[in-house]
Amino acid sequence: MPYHEFECSKCIPERKQHAVIKGPGEDLTHALPLGHLNTIPGSISERGCAYCGAKHVIGTPMKDVIHLSHGPTGCTYDTWQTKRYISDNDNFQLKYTFASDVKEKHIVFGAEKVLKQNIIEAFKAFPDIKRMTIYQTCATALIGDDVDAIAEEVMEEMPEVDIFVCNSPGFAGPSQSGGHHKINIAWIKKKVGTVEPKITSDYVINYVGEYNIQGDQEVMLDYFKRMGVQVLSTFTGNGSYDELRGMHRAHLNVLECARSAEYICNELKVKYGIPRLDIEGFGFEPLSSSLRKIGLFFGIEERAQAIIDEETARWKPELDWYKERLKGKKVCLWPGGSKLWHWAHVIHEEMGVEVVSVYTKFGHQGDMEKGIARCEEGALAVDDPNELEGLEAMMTLKPDVIFTGKRPGEVAKKIRVPYLNAHAYHNGPYKGYEGWVRFARDIYNAIYSPIHQLAHLDISKDEIPAGAGFQTAKMLSDLNLSEEVVSSSTLRQYTGKYDSVSSLRTKTYPEFKKKERSE
Amino acid sequence: MSCELKQKERVGTINPIFTCQPAGAQYVSIGVKDCIGIVHGGQGCVMFVRLLISQHLKESFEIASSSLHEDAAVFGALSRVEAAVDVLLMRYPHVKVIPIITTCSTEVIGDDVDGVVIKLNEGLLQEKYAGREVHLIPIHTPSFVGSMVSGYDVAVRDFVRYFARKDKTSVKINLITGWVNPGDVTALKHLLTEMQIEANVLFEIESFDSPLMPDGNSVSYGNTTIDDLTQTGNALGTIALNRYEGGKAAAFLEKEFDIPAIIGPTPIGIRNTDTFLQNLKKMTGKSIPESLVRERGIAIDALTDLTHLFFADKKVAIYGNPDLVIGLSEFCLDLEMKPVLLLLGDDNISYPDDPRIQALKEKVDYEMEIITNADFWELENRIKNEGLELDLILGHSKGRFIAIDNDIPMVRVGFPTYDRAGLYRHPIVGYAGAIWLAEEITNTLFTDMEHKHNKEWILNVW
């Protein structure tokens, strides 16, 4: 597996070990790209900071919490309303963000006093919210404010409130990944075990590493509830602060994003002996197998199988409609951390696309190992990509679509490559059976948009096809399909609604009687 | 019954109206040709600002980070600035201008950015890049001072201070636009063209409304050149349209090179555009042509259809950049509306001295509040808990939920406006801007009337 040297990065030789091309039959262990190392200054990396990893990725999806950043307003403003982690309490965590507004005088004389005032003001403004997370930032970490002490002081004075402190300034690590680790460890150390949850089922899990992007968590919760499994807490999407304090009473930790949240699972195992089960909510087969594993763990396989059968029958014909039309399309799978391996294999298997490149902004070598193992031969794998490398890769690989972030998506647009938002999704959720069809539909709509055909025309030089007033995606996608596929009576396009999540919030579930136990 | 100017009483911020200084400096940096800034701080200080600006413009552009990590925060991070400059220069052969923009972290640890620039000029640039034109410009924008607005102001001044030279006379003027959109720059240049005035425009960001071309170009750049910046020292005069976003540069040029400066007014609305044209006339001796009389007439005609029928007595809250907010409030008053609450998101101590604010205080004959160091809670709390009734909100996208949750019509204006399509393309300045703003407000009110069934039948005949 040769390292891949980008033309644009020949002058920074240390980059060479951050990219590889997966050769035929090659052993991963010989040339895994380096990962999770300090960023090369000036390379125009796409990485964020450890503060955003803690606050923006993991902290803020908690829904019933005042999220207060201790520092100047910029960190707070910049990480506010730039993600789609929704909740079933009218999105309090999306709508409100709090900054202690540290100014120059506080930098000189200390900002602990102003922090305390802030905490009191925030609780006063939102009297129904009794929980708070305080995030340290670069400035307040460097001046050495003792945020924990202030939080303790307030909790003594206001016994009805509870405050969690996360010390993860922006510089604490090579990327946002440093922040994931810090908040995981801080939560289990400081908060788990401080509330005793009510156990209502024989089968109790924590759902970990799930951030409810566009409703992912709610879709998965629907399956768990249909299985009669009690979800004690979700870390952290649509998650509740006090529920997460009771994580220690679960029988099983079901882990989705291992990059951002395996730390807390591992600690829960060490400290409370709770086993960890890695699952995947993306893709029919991985999801079915995940539900089966949970069923198997609790001895309720038939409940899992019933859901798998029902959902597969409902949605598989729609997925396959898209698969027929996406076969062989080239995809750059360029997410943040773990989606490269969550998606690499399954989008190939279930949607027929070829993954020509994977990259990770803040993944570790383990993520790369899994990602490369699951992507196609010849694929280019890049750690901590930068602007020029991304462009060079797109120019040489000529993908039909890329999955990445919003701003890199604008880069792709200009070279006429359509993009889907890998972090926040276009029209998600993408988890669950229906969600997976929604993803396939988004890919299809991106690739076959008639606008791309127009974008390649040069009216000053090219022969302009006259007489056609319009094209549809279907006219383009079905051009070379067999008659059998085109007129199939079983395959069909997506039939769900624009909003597939809100209706789950009022759904009722069967009651499974709890077994009598002599505890 | 009067207008009151006061500071927010709470110390904290619930939903900030502004981000911090480095963001303003970054917005300036993308307006300069052959320029890539290095933000000296944590990676988030760049990554999120790029995301923010790209959401607003629906474009990408380049800004680099010195990627401050833990060791650098402890031992000092100047070596990372040196590395960043080298890596940028190696990989971007067109780059000539590199502003080095500081942040809270690197100001707190006390990195001597000015010192490292001298070191680089005498070392790396001489040794490795001899013969290449490279300008390193330290820009100090600690996040705990001012806001993105002052960061913009400081950066414009620092660019001008670095480049401006006086070596000849010129007929050109300097036009410092302030924090505007590509569409505004187009509108302003149109006014200059009509008056046959040449200008060094700071900053030429029209090109951020860039095309998707058949050959696939890649990145949008600003177009203010080194020469434009250098020539600011020879100009006939400077007009800085925004007092708080470019005023410092105008004052610098006046003090250093005796270039007469006119600061403001922000040409939002008919009256302020009139004043802008008068100022141009005064500065250059050029006359205002018939074409602009006609253009103004079209605007007046459009506004006359709207004012007393739809706008009169409508209560408005406005938030955002100070020059924008003040300009909009003046325009609203001219349209018979009643701005009742103005929110300025930072604590600039010179607000009480602003003659426009003083005029509001003296002349407004109903209850109006101007809150400085404001956050969005100042608006939301008044609506939810203190009975403030509004007919309209004017401001940027970050306040969208206040409008949505309280069902108040809102026109997006300012920065950022990512939750509406294409607003960067439409001017709010000049006569064209006056028309666009008034009609956008009108149509928003109409949609709201229909959505609420609130006298929607009135439009059966209009």
Query: For position A400, what pLDDT does the model report?
Result: 98
User: Which CA distances in Å does B421 have to A54, B58, B406, B415, B441?
Assistant: 31, 9, 22, 13, 15
- Residues with Cβ < 8 Å from B223, sequence gap 6 or more? B31, B33, B204, B205, B206, B207
The domain that holds A297 is classified in CATH as 3.40.50.1980
- On whether residue A85 sits in a domain, the answer given is yes
CA distance A457 to chain B (A): 6
- A187 forms beta bridges with none
Radius of gyration of chain A (CA): 24
Q: Could B62 and A80 be called an inter-chain contact, meaning their C-beta atoms sit closer than 8 Å?
A: no
Distance, in Å, from the CA atom of A404 to the CA atom of A6, rounded to the nearest integer, reads 20
**Banded model confidence at residue A453, pLDDT cuts 50, 70, 90:** confident
List the structure tokens of B28.
């300036």
- Residues with Cβ < 8 Å from A339, sequence gap 6 or more? A282, A333, A403, A422
Q: Which residues of A touch B217 (CB under 8 A)?
A: 414
Long-range contacts of A495-502, Cβ-Cβ distance < 8 Å, separation of 24 or more: A495/A318, A496/A434, A496/A437, A496/A438, A498/A427, A500/A215, A500/A219, A500/A429, A500/A434, A500/A435, A500/A438, A501/A86, A501/A214, A501/A215, A501/A218, A501/A219, A501/A429
- Give CA B51 to chain center in angstroms: 17
Distance, in Å, from the CA atom of A169 to the CA atom of A179, rounded to the nearest integer, reads 8
- Stretch A385-396: mean pLDDT, rounded? 96
**Banded model confidence at residue A30, pLDDT cuts 50, 70, 90:** low
Closest to B245 measured CA to CA, from B57, B368, B415, B114? B415
Closest to A385 measured CA to CA, from A6, A52, A51? A6
DSSP line for B387-437: ----SEEEE-GGGHHHHHHTT--EEE-SS--TTSTTGGGS--BHHHHHHHH
Last residue of a domain, one of A173, A194, A216: A173
pLDDT, one tens digit per residue, over A112-156 is 999 999 999 999 999 999 999 999 999 999 999 999 999 999 999
On whether the CB atoms of residues A444 and B90 are closer than 8 A, the answer is: no
On whether the CB atoms of residues A182 and A261 are closer than 8 A, the answer is: no
- Domain check: are A234 and A150 in the same one? no
Distance, in Å, from the CA atom of B240 to the CA atom of B180, rounded to the nearest integer, reads 12
Residue of B nearest to A394 (CA): B218
Distance, in Å, from the CA atom of A257 to the CA atom of A424, rounded to the nearest integer, reads 15
Q: Where are the alpha helices (DSSP H) in A276-386?
A: 284-298, 301-326, 339-351, 365-374
> Touching check for A415 and chain B: CB below 8 Å?
yes
- On whether residue A491 sits in a domain, the answer given is no
CA distance A186 to chain B (A): 18
Query: For position A2, what pLDDT does the model report?
Result: 84
Q: What percent of chain A has pLDDT over 90?
A: 91
List the structure tokens of A464.
């302009």
- Domain check: are A324 and A299 in the same one? no
**Residue A355 in this model has a pLDDT that exceeds 80:** yes
**Residue A519 in this model has a pLDDT that exceeds 60:** no
> Touching check for A266 and chain B: CB below 8 Å?
no
- CA B434, B437, B439, B441 dihedral sign is negative
Last residue of a domain, one of A290, A311, A332: A311
- Stretch B292-315: mean pLDDT, rounded? 97
- On whether residue A507 sits in a domain, the answer given is no
On whether the CB atoms of residues B252 and B176 are closer than 8 A, the answer is: no
On whether the CB atoms of residues A218 and A501 are closer than 8 A, the answer is: yes
On whether the CB atoms of residues A456 and A416 are closer than 8 A, the answer is: yes
Burial class (CB in 10 A: 0-12, 13-18, 19+), B74: exposed
- Domain check: are A394 and A481 in the same one? yes
Using CB atoms, pick whichever of A48, A74, A141 lies closest to residue B20.
A74
- Domain check: are A238 and A326 in the same one? no
Q: Which residues of B touch A79 (CB under 8 A)?
A: 44, 48
Distance, in Å, from the CA atom of A76 to the CA atom of A461, rounded to the nearest integer, reads 50
- Domain check: are A288 and A214 in the same one? yes
Q: Could A173 and B70 be called an inter-chain contact, meaning their C-beta atoms sit closer than 8 Å?
A: yes
Q: Which residues of B touch A76 (CB under 8 A)?
A: 13, 16
On whether the CB atoms of residues A241 and A159 are closer than 8 A, the answer is: no
Q: Which residues of B touch A72 (CB under 8 A)?
A: 20, 104, 143-144
Give kind and range of the element (H or E) at residue A485. Answer: helix A483-486
pLDDT, one tens digit per residue, over B325-351 is 999 999 999 999 999 999 999 999 999
Q: Which residues of A touch B65 (CB under 8 A)?
A: 39, 41-42, 44-45
b/e code B345-362 from CB counts within 10 Å (16+ = b): bbbbeebeebebbeebee
Last residue of a domain, one of A311, A346, A363: A311
Residues 372-401, chain A, touching B (beta carbon < 8 A): 387-388, 391
Closest to A387 measured CA to CA, from A355, A417, A409? A409
**Residue A26 in this model has a pLDDT that exceeds 80:** no
User: Angle of helix B269-284 relative to helix B322-334, nearest 10 degrees?
Assistant: 110
Distance, in Å, from the CA atom of B364 to the CA atom of B428, rounded to the nearest integer, reads 24
> Touching check for A9 and chain B: CB below 8 Å?
yes
Q: Could B216 and A43 be called an inter-chain contact, meaning their C-beta atoms sit closer than 8 Å?
A: no
Distance, in Å, from the CA atom of B272 to the CA atom of B266, rounded to the nearest integer, reads 6
Query: For position A468, what pLDDT does the model report?
Result: 83
Query: For position A33, what pLDDT does the model report?
Result: 92
pTM above 0.95, yes or no: yes
Q: Which residues of B touch A362 (CB under 8 A)?
A: none
- Determine how many CB atoms are found less than 10 A away from the CB of residue A377: 11
- Domain check: are A356 and A405 in the same one? yes
**Banded model confidence at residue B217, pLDDT cuts 50, 70, 90:** confident
Q: Could A74 and B62 be called an inter-chain contact, meaning their C-beta atoms sit closer than 8 Å?
A: no
Q: Could B13 and A413 be called an inter-chain contact, meaning their C-beta atoms sit closer than 8 Å?
A: no
On whether the CB atoms of residues A219 and A431 are closer than 8 A, the answer is: yes
**Banded model confidence at residue B422, pLDDT cuts 50, 70, 90:** very high
- Give CA A304 to chain center in angstroms: 24
Where on the phi/psi map is residue A145: left (φ > 0), alpha (ψ -120 to 50), or beta?
A: beta
Backbone torsions φ then ψ of A183, nearest 5 degrees: -75, -35
Distance, in Å, from the CA atom of A393 to the CA atom of B38, rounded to the nearest integer, reads 24
Q: Could B142 and A45 be called an inter-chain contact, meaning their C-beta atoms sit closer than 8 Å?
A: no
Q: Which residues of A touch B412 (CB under 8 A)?
A: none
- Domain check: are A357 and A477 in the same one? yes
Q: Which residues of A touch B319 (CB under 8 A)?
A: none
SS3 A365: helix
Output helix, strand, coil percentages for chain A, rounded to the nearest 5: 45, 15, 40
Burial class (CB in 10 A: 0-12, 13-18, 19+), B432: buried
> Touching check for A416 and chain B: CB below 8 Å?
yes
Q: Could A408 and B60 be called an inter-chain contact, meaning their C-beta atoms sit closer than 8 Å?
A: yes
Query: For position B127, what pLDDT does the model report?
Result: 97
- On whether residue A519 sits in a domain, the answer given is no
Q: Could B83 and A101 be called an inter-chain contact, meaning their C-beta atoms sit closer than 8 Å?
A: no
- Stretch A274-279: mean pLDDT, rounded? 98
pLDDT, one tens digit per residue, over A55-107 is 999 999 999 999 999 999 999 999 999 999 999 999 999 999 999 999 999 99
- Domain check: are A306 and A340 in the same one? no
- On whether residue A55 sits in a domain, the answer given is yes
Residue of B nearest to A416 (CA): B216
- Residues with Cβ < 8 Å from A124, sequence gap 6 or more? none
> Touching check for A231 and chain B: CB below 8 Å?
no
Q: Which residues of A touch B377 (CB under 8 A)?
A: 125
- Domain check: are A106 and A224 in the same one? no
Distance, in Å, from the CA atom of A243 to the CA atom of A232, rounded to the nearest integer, reads 6
Q: Could A100 and B16 be called an inter-chain contact, meaning their C-beta atoms sit closer than 8 Å?
A: no
**Residue B1 in this model has a pLDDT that exceeds 90:** no
- B371 forms beta bridges with B6, B343
Q: Which residues of B touch A416 (CB under 8 A)?
A: 212, 216
**Banded model confidence at residue A1, pLDDT cuts 50, 70, 90:** low
- On whether residue A333 sits in a domain, the answer given is yes
List the structure tokens of B3.
């207008």
Distance, in Å, from the CA atom of B144 to the CA atom of A84, rounded to the nearest integer, reads 28
The overall average pLDDT reported for chain B is 97
- Domain check: are A482 and A344 in the same one? yes
Q: Could A72 and B55 be called an inter-chain contact, meaning their C-beta atoms sit closer than 8 Å?
A: no
Residue of A nearest to B91 (CA): A8
- Domain check: are A299 and A361 in the same one? no
- Domain check: are A300 and A338 in the same one? no
Burial class (CB in 10 A: 0-12, 13-18, 19+), A34: middle
Q: Does A517 or A180 have the greater pLDDT score?
A: A180
**Banded model confidence at residue B303, pLDDT cuts 50, 70, 90:** very high
- Residues with Cβ < 8 Å from A328, sequence gap 6 or more? A352, A353, A354
Using CB atoms, pick whichever of A43, A170, A455 lies closest to residue B44.
A170
SS3 B40: strand
User: Which CA distances in Å does B96 have to A8, B85, B92, B383?
Assistant: 18, 11, 9, 50
CA distance A291 to chain B (A): 37
Q: Does A219 or B217 have the greater pLDDT score?
A: A219
List the structure tokens of B274.
């009139």
On whether the CB atoms of residues A75 and B44 are closer than 8 A, the answer is: yes
Provide the number of structural domains found in chain A.
Answer: 3
Residue of A nearest to B218 (CA): A414
- Residues with Cβ < 8 Å from B406, sequence gap 6 or more? B380, B383, B384
Query: For position A517, what pLDDT does the model report?
Result: 62
pLDDT, one tens digit per residue, over A243-269 is 999 999 999 999 999 999 999 999 999
- Give CA B76 to chain center in angstroms: 33
- On whether residue A115 sits in a domain, the answer given is yes
pLDDT, one tens digit per residue, over B153-168 is 999 999 999 999 999 9
Distance, in Å, from the CA atom of B178 to the CA atom of B153, rounded to the nearest integer, reads 8
The overall average pLDDT reported for chain A is 95
On whether the CB atoms of residues A165 and A151 are closer than 8 A, the answer is: yes
On whether the CB atoms of residues B244 and B323 are closer than 8 A, the answer is: yes
- Residues with Cβ < 8 Å from A118, sequence gap 6 or more? A68, A70, A98, A100, A101, B11, B12
CA angle B431, B433, B436 (to 5 degrees): 115
SS3 B438: helix
On whether the CB atoms of residues B286 and B197 are closer than 8 A, the answer is: yes
Q: What percent of chain A has pLDDT over 70?
A: 98
- On whether residue A330 sits in a domain, the answer given is yes
* Residue reference for tokens 């009509």: B194
pLDDT, one tens digit per residue, over B94-151 is 999 999 999 999 999 999 999 999 999 999 999 999 999 999 999 999 999 999 999 9
Q: What is the signed CA dihedral for A125, A126, A130, A133, rounded to 10 degrees?
A: -80
- Determine how many CB atoms are found less than 10 A away from the CB of residue B28: 31
Residue A455, domain extent: 316-486
Output helix, strand, coil percentages for chain B, rounded to the nearest 5: 50, 15, 35
Backbone torsions φ then ψ of A55, nearest 5 degrees: -80, -55
